[in-house]
Amino acid sequence: MSLQDDRDSILDLTQKLLVCITRGDWDTYKELCCPSLTCFEPEALGNLVDGLDFHQYYFNLPASSTPVQSTIVAPHIRIMGDVAVIAYVRLTQKIADGKPVTAAMEETRVWHRQQGKWKHVHFHRSPAR
Ligand code: GLY
């Protein structure tokens, strides 16, 4: 595996992660994430979240009946052996009050190669300014 192969894998896996979040596909999310995933995200109101239960709540909600699309903008990927960090802005297009709107979030995600498979171990999401 070359450095470029690892970079391609991290971008593909991150895209897959965002698609499964958008689709409410819990099985794929669980497969991609380490059970001890940690994060800071706006929904946790400044608290560090540890584990997957907090995230599962959102997957149990009814899926959106209107189209939602996430786009990774200008990703920066750093590979450090068996650890990878990807940082980017995520644009999410959705329908609100019948009109298309776009939200922007700054996201940093950390991946760890465990037994030869990349697992998502930490992320930080905040609204882009
Ligand atoms: N809110 C779940 C995630 O961004 O991974």
Q: What is the pLDDT of residue 82?
A: 98
Asked whether 55 lines ligand 1 (CB < 6 A), one says yes
Whole-model pTM: value is: 0.96
Which atom of ligand 1 has the smallest separation from the CA of 33? 5
Q: What is the pLDDT of residue 31?
A: 98
127 C-beta neighbours (distance < 10 Å), count = 9
Which atom of ligand 1 has the smallest separation from the CA of 29? 5
Mutate to test the pocket of ligand 1, among 39, 40, 120 (most ligand atoms within 8 A of CB): 39
Instruction: Give the CATH number of the domain where residue 37 resides.
Output: 3.10.450.50
Q: What is the pLDDT of residue 72?
A: 98
Q: Which residues of the chain have pLDDT under 70?
A: none
- Distance of CA 89 from the midpoint of ligand 1 (Å): 14
Phi, psi at 45, each rounded to 5°:
55, 45
Number of domains making up the chain: 1
Domain hosting 52: range is 3-127
Q: What is the pLDDT of residue 63?
A: 86
Q: What is the pLDDT of residue 129?
A: 82
